[in-house]
Structure 1
Amino acid sequence: MYSLKPETINVLLQQNSYPIWIRKGIRKSIGELLKSLNKNQKWIIISPTPIYNLYGKEIFQILNQSGFKIEILEIDDGERVKSIYYFQKYCKKLIDLGCNRDSILLALGGGVTGDLCGFIASTLFRGISYYQIPTSLLAMVDSSIGGKNAINIEEGKNLIGTFYHPDAVIIDPEFLITLPEKEIYSGLGEIIKYGFIISPEIIKIFKKLNFLNLDIQSNEIEQLIIISAESKSKIVSIDSSEKDLRRILNFGHTTGHIIEAFTNYSKITHGEAVVYGMMVAIKISHKLLNLPKQVMDDSIYTLKKLCKTEIPFIPKTDFLNYLFRDKKVESRQINFILIDEIGNPIIHNNINPNIVYDTYKNLLKEIL
């Protein structure tokens, strides 16, 4: 019998606060969990076919047997579905399924699914309810929490989007059993970020992990998920629309996004790119904010354990072009997140772009 008492973390907002529920096997209790919210409206699972075959059929059956009017919208897999074309295609399919303003969407999948479903929910019928059920580690600790939803256009990723929070986030760590190793490491890259900017205990847990024989179902991994969810919910509760404090979540992301863009978002995972970005930020923090050298060296040593892919040489012109295209650049000034100690982030509002590039180039030499 699976527990109906999950770990509960509340994202406290001025309006529409919501819970994050975390428990191994919680999907098996989803009918009981959502029973009080079932008012005979239509519930629609949105899920990529591979994920639906792994977990969606089970959830569909549980909800159906619990008296829910449940439908399924299987979507294509991969980043390409975050586009205007697929947005229109799936909105039409939802309407064909009888979706209306009272309907509730269930986003079952990774970050791409959550992004697309959240964007649809925020715009279809001027806004309908949705729940996030993330199946990747990255989505569990990052994209499913905070209400950022977006699709891509030719000019760049996530350039059309909304802030629209789910009614709840349902996290089942058992989903990670079938997650590929590279995606596990990608999620760990986002988790360790919280250690550097708000929750130093994460760094201590990382130093104890056995990366040669990583047990993804261990209590340590579940603890990391919980601490990460608590960390992000705390930041989002203070700054839900990324005007101030929430910007610290971009630690490592400026350089990470450049690496992703230069490699066409195909050769390196998001989390691993961010890990390299954090190395760059930590080295700059040592140079500009006097972060102790021992802290810098220890941090980079720990981060290197998460790196499975070599980063490329990026010509300076390309690097700077990507840098100034970043959403964190305002009036040609680069907002860059640094740390002056573990757990204490500093928002640097006008970093010299040459320092960023030179640090990346030097890091590349060290690694090679």
Structure 2
Amino acid sequence: MYQNMRRSPRMIFAASVVLAGLGIASCGSAPKQEQSAAVPATAADVTNTNPVILSATDGLAARNSAPVRSGAPDAKIASTSSLAADSMMVDPSWGCGVYEPSAAEIVESNAISEAFAAGLDRYGVAYERVTDDFGFVQISLDPFDVVAQSVSQSFWIARYPLEVISQEDLAAQVAQNDVVAEQLDKAQVAYTRTTDEQDYESIDYDYDDPAAQAAVDAAWLIISPPQPPDAETLAVIVKENEAVATAFDAAGVVYERFADELGWQWLEWDYEDQSINDIAAAAYEQLYPPVAIDPIEQCVAVDVLPDDSEAIDPATSGVVDDVADDLTTDVVPMEADSEPSADDIARGDAEIAAMTEGFTTAGVTFEVQGESPWQSVTFDLTNDAGVPVVQAIIATRG
């Protein structure tokens, strides 16, 4: 994907980094072109000394085609993101890892659980109600009871329906797909157009086929052509480029300046030379000093650890099991490898058939979801005619 281009007796390599909050440092290689007379007057005319000017399309390709460099500002972002992820492990409001739900949270959650239980009662579905240590009510169902699962799924779909896609959005999607399909046809690439239950259309093709990807890229250049940077973005780019260029000039680093006809501009250098990358990173450090982050408080469940906890070997002590036991409620989770028995499957298939027949006769709207043995039937809970259908099926179990 990345091609080395001989621009002069030296090899100059492009590197593109689009930085959230940091701007653009440098970009991918693209063929050198003559400066275009159509280039608009931008800050590039002032700050760049005879930059190589590319077309809008080539400029976009150059900015999107470089690998991430070790030691460049993006490496800084990775480490900062890691710290952010670590900090999310413990919510400060929990008091060092001890979750204390508010009374309002418990009331709101339990109201939903009770509504769910009432819906199950209406159809005669068996369930178990468990209240955990915080006061949350949990409703547990037999995972292999297709009738219970059908009523459950129908309840939650009715309560939290999928957002309906507007006809305007659907039409826009089809128009985009028309452009993609046209480019795939030109490239003689096979594809399929499919529509889901919400009439949302998508195009599927071999994502590993370079010709297909090139065709799709060409389509998106038509759908969403390159746009010029706004004044604020351009000002940031200029500031960053000049900071890096000044550092390069002082160190005697060979680099090239580039711009495109839309006004984007960037620097290119030998990004395989880590010493040059370090100079660029240092320039960014000057522009964007590291933000001080308070140390993350590490929490431990001290009430379940013995006094000599520092000498504990987690692999042999059993402390991890003790912690887990201390945090669990009376609900016993189903084993990950649990599978329905042959009797469960036979009963499930028969009851799916009974529900579809009964709902059809009663005029209840329904849809069969999934495949045996994990099938269910979602149906219209507002139609009272469905209640005796479900109750009759449950009654046949004896």
TM-score (norm 1): 0.18
Query: Which protein has the bigger helix share?
Result: 1
Judging by fraction of residues, say which structure has more strand. 1
Q: Which has the higher contact order (CA 8 A, sep 6+)?
A: 2
TM-score by length of structure 2 reads 0.17
Max Rg structure: 2
